[in-house]
Amino acid sequence: MLNKKYDRRDRTFNHAVNLFDRALLASGFGDGVTTPVLAVAAIEALPYDMWVALNLMKVHWETCINNPEVPKLPNVSELCEGMFGRHRLDDAEETIYRLTDSLDFDKEKLIEKYKLLHKAVGCGELDRQPEALADVSLLISVRNSIIHPKSEHISQRLKGGKTHGNPNGIPSFVHTLWGKGLINKPSVSESWLNLIDDVRFCRWSVQVAFRFIQVTLIALPESPLLNAFTYEADLRRSREDVTRFGIAVPEDT
């Protein structure tokens, strides 16, 4: 029986998996503008999704009739049986809650948020994957240049009436993407926004987001609440779609 003074229904929705599904869909069309924006948005959403889930338990305990400090209605002896049977955060969950609660989600650098989160759960996996961090940083650079656009002025020397040497004025990350084989060679005749409309780049974008989010979910400690959160946020549940786009998915779910 619920304490009617605090009776209500709560529901949380994970935006990370929602945004990732949309990035995956856009990547199938080779949409190089939409895909990285949504892929990075999915990465951004996960820490806040985690805070919302933990905060729900926090708020629940403040009004739960199992809490000895919460006033009880007369003749109510039943205990609340919701919220995974515990009603309050355990020590590991409290540590993660305090960290996510302290983050400035609008200003904190995205990769730094994840490093702090991994440190809080005692996992050094990100430090052991410099290439993964570099890929996420590159993806963020592309996303930032899309949502904070600057006009392009590309120039290239001529020799014998033909272009000669490398074009100037192209963002450095474009050359990095080309070097990774994700886009065609930059030229003076085409905007980098057109170059990233490439299925190779789009698939890479969702792969980077997928791996970064999954390695974080795997690092979370075991608890009924965090297990439930991980299940809801697990991107592998779209197994057929993610494997179709070349993402290696572990057999276990």
More confident residue, 128 or 138: 138
pTM for the full model? Answer: 0.79
Phi-psi region of 181 (alpha: psi -120 to 50; beta: other; left: phi over 0): left
Q: Between the ranges 57-61, 124-128, 142-146, where is the mean pLDDT highest? A: 142-146
Q: Max alpha carbon distance in the chain (Å)?
A: 96
pLDDT of residue 58: 76
Reported confidence tier of residue 30, pLDDT bands at 50, 70, 90: very high
Q: Which residue has the tokens 């935006």?
A: 15
Reported confidence tier of residue 237, pLDDT bands at 50, 70, 90: low
pLDDT of residue 119: 84
Contact assessment for residue 121 and residue 221, using Cβ atoms and an 8 Å cutoff: yes
Q: Between the ranges 7-21, 87-101, 162-176, where is the mean pLDDT highest? A: 87-101
